[in-house]
Amino acid sequence: MAIAKAERLMNLALCLLGTRRPLSKRELRGSIEAYLEAGTDDSFNRMFERDKDDLRELGLVIETVENLDGEVGYLARRDSNSLPPITLDAEEAAALGLAAKVWQQARLAGAASGALQKLRAAGLPEDVDPYEAHGALEPRIPVHEAAFEPLMLACRDRRPVVFEYRKATAARPETRQVEPWALECWRGHWYLAGWDRDRGAERVFRLSRITGKVRSRGSAFTVEVPDVVTVRETVASWAGERADRSALIRLRGGAGYPLRAKASAVRELGDGWDELEIPYGHGLDAWLVEFGPDVVVLEPAELRADVVDRLRAVAKG
């Protein structure tokens, strides 16, 4: 929703909630600056009717009655628009407190802080530390990528986006047109799942590989958003987390610690090299390319060929 429209709706809602008697269109127009700038009466009437319908769709109960002068008036009674009391048990309050405090970036910290204050008012005691309540370390979800915020808003508003994306094996980024579905953090990295319009298929993108600005498109989604978006499962599969095979590689000493962590066996070869046996699934070739000259694939032959092909593609770029 555009900021100007959101401000106009907020002002209209405040007028309707703050009055003790029905207000006519004429009075509302004189009280809200955006309506004064609407131009003709027809323009104002169309704007007002749309705004009134939007507020009702958002849940505001607006009554239409005649005022003392016989004019049609509008008001939103507070007793008709109040929420029921919020009751939280200790575990619910602690869990919501954790969720509110998990964000650390400045653009999100304000909203999270405000939400935490509301949780305090709703039943999270001042003397209850959600971390102590759960006996856990304080969680952190870092967001360093500039693409996070525009993609988060695009997922929420169901707006297609365009961005430049550099694959792990590509020397240059390429343009991707995506209908964004969901963002998820996995192993310290943020990923976007969505529909790639150019490829006509679901894709997952690592935010750290998005270059430049994320640009929004005004068109609607062309594909229905799935009920369940499996970001982690897809990334885990591509990273070889679902291992059904085993690879034998040579790894330079002091390098490739993520590979060493996955290895089922490590043997020193001398001359500054080690031999590792790594269980893997789909996507290991793309991962190995990231380690460059520190890795040599010994077997299987098809994995070695895939890695060589990817390295040649990068070299040509």
Quick: pLDDT tens for 190-228: 889 899 999 998 888 989 889 989 999 878 899 888 887
Whole-number pLDDT of residue 235:
67
**Count of the separate structural domains present in the chain:** 4
Whole-number pLDDT of residue 163:
95
CA distance 314 to 292: 11
User: What is the token pair recorded at 1?
Assistant: 């929703």
Contact at 8 Å (CB) between 239 and 271?
no
At residue 232, what is the residue type?
R
Quick: pLDDT tens for 235-272: 666 554 556 788 999 999 888 888 888 888 999 998 89
Residue 153 shares a structural domain with residue 225: yes
Whole-number pLDDT of residue 117:
63
Strand order in the sheet with 295-299: 265-270, 273-280, 245-252, 295-299
> What does the angle CA 296 – CA 191 – CA 281 come to, to the nearest 5 degrees?
40
CA proximity to 1, closest of 162, 157, 179, 189: 157
Residue 44 shares a structural domain with residue 65: yes
Detail the DSSP E strand segments found in the chain: 23-24, 63-66, 72-75, 161-165, 174-186, 189-196, 201-206, 210-216, 245-252, 265-270, 273-280, 295-299
User: What is the token pair recorded at 159?
Assistant: 């707006």
Which domain range does residue 250 map to?
Answer: 245-316
Contact at 8 Å (CB) between 195 and 221?
yes
Measured in degrees and rounded to the nearest 5, phi and psi for residue 300 equal: -75, 165
User: Which parts of the chain have pLDDT scores under 70?
Assistant: 1-3, 67-68, 83-91, 93-143, 168-169, 187-188, 234-243, 281-283, 317
Which of the listed residues 238, 253, 281 is the one where a domain comes to its end?
Answer: 238
Whole-number pLDDT of residue 287:
77
The b/e string for 165-179 (b: 16+ C-beta within 10 A; e otherwise) is bebebeeeeeebbbb
> Per the domain annotation, does 143 fall within a domain?
no
Half-sphere exposure of 211 (CA within 13 A, CB side): 11
Which of the listed residues 223, 238, 253 is the one where a domain comes to its end?
Answer: 238
